[in-house]
């Protein structure tokens, strides 16, 4: 077992209540690459995430965490199985429909920020709003940047911002369309410890304020502990929590 898994208590990896899940994966399989280089990344993964739940995806490098997150966000298509997000089956959507759905319902934060270097903070946050046809994209983007503590940095370019400030811009951009779901892939991975804690606090404050579903990939035990539930992956499969395994074995 990897060191992170040893420090995190087991929690059952199914929907927290009996209502309709915000995210539902059923028997998802995914392989990447071609020929002899093709690798089976996700293996018959089934998982439900309840509305408003915060779920941490943990596991060793190469276990499939980031790929699973990309499947939830509609950025990767599984070879087999079904992905349903906000009662919409991704199997039923073509690429354009999936992109439009993602733009409205799913915010994405990456480890490497992925800001457009030739655009200011305000312009970077305005982009998804403009693509969605928002009538007042700049004013909305400015409000989002104010909420993440960058009201005085609206017209700065990424090269003029610290790593923590760039990640705040990325979070504001993800939150600007007011998505029901926010997914984050190692959001503190490129940050120092102090800045990382500030970003974690910001993410969870926004999660609580907006009552949105949050799914994040992390190697950080402290970050994982802040989630309502932790799901461990090992070699492309969800690892059954020890408590659940013992219940099954004695049932």
In this structure, are residues 201 and 179 in contact, taking their beta carbons and an 8 Å threshold?
A: no
**Which of 80-89, 219-228, 230-239 shows the lowest per-residue confidence on average (mean pLDDT)?**
219-228
Distance of CA 160 to the CA centre of its chain: 26
pLDDT exceeds cutoff 70 at 250:
no
Residue linked to tokens 């699973």: 68
| Percent of the chain topping pLDDT 90 | 74
pLDDT at 137 over 70: yes
- The stretch 227-250 carries a mean pLDDT of 73
- Phi/psi of residue 172, each to 5°? -60, -40
Cα–Cα dist 219/63, whole Å: 12
Is 124 in contact with 85 (CB distance < 8 Å)?
no
Domain limits, the chain: 3-250
**How does DSSP assign 4-43, residue by residue?**
HHHHS-----S-SSSS--SEEEEEEEEEESSGGG-EEEEE
Domain 3-250: what homologous superfamily? P-loop containing nucleotide triphosphate hydrolases (3.40.50.300)
Structure-block tokens of residue 213: 């579903």
Distance CA 137, CA 144 (A): 11
Percent of the chain with pLDDT over 70: 88
> How many whole angstroms separate alpha carbon 100 and alpha carbon 250?
47
Asked whether the predicted pLDDT for residue 10 surpasses 50, the reply is no
Going by C-alpha positions, the residue among 208, 204, 207 that lies closest to residue 188 is 204
- The per-residue pLDDT for range 51-66, each reduced to its tens digit, is 999 999 999 999 999 9
What's the pLDDT tens digit per position in 185-221?
999 888 898 998 899 999 999 999 999 999 999 988 8
Residue 70 reports pLDDT greater than 50 = yes
Which pLDDT belongs to residue 81?
97
Q: What confidence tens digit (pLDDT) does each residue in 97-124 have? A: 999 999 999 999 998 899 999 999 999 9
Looking at the predicted structure, is the pLDDT value of residue 142 above 60? yes
DSSP one-letter code for 94? -
């Amino acid at each position: 077992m990897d060191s992170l898994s040893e420090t995190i208590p087991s929690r059952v990896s199914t929907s927290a209540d009996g209502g309709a899940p915000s995210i539902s994966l059923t028997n998802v399989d995914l392989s990447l690459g071609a020929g002899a280089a093709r690798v089976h990344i996700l293996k018959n993964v089934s998982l439900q995430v309840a509305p408003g739940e915060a779920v941490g995806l943990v596991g060793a490098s190469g276990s499939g965490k980031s790929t699973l997150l990309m499947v939830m966000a509609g950025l990767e298509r599984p070879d087999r199985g079904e992905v349903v997000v906000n009662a919409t089956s991704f199997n039923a959507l073509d690429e354009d429909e999936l992109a439009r759905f993602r733009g409205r319902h799913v915010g994405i934060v990456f480890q490497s920020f992925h800001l457009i270097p030739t655009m200011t903070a305000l312009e970077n946050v305005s982009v998804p709003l403009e693509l969605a046809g928002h009538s007042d994209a700049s004013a909305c983007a400015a409000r989002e940047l104010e909420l993440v503590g960058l009201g005085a940095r609206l017209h700065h370019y990424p090269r003029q911002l610290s790593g923590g400030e760039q990640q705040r811009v990325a979070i504001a951009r993800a939150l600007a369309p007011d998505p029901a779901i926010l997914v984050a892939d190692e959001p503190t991975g490129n940050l120092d410890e102090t800045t990382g804690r500030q970003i974690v606090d910001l993410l969870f404050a926004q999660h609580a304020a907006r009552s949105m579903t949050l799914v994040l990939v992390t190697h950080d035990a402290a970050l994982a502990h802040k989630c309502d539930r932790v799901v461990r992956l090992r070699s492309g499969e969800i690892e059954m929590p020890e408590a659940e395994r013992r219940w099954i074995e004695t049932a």
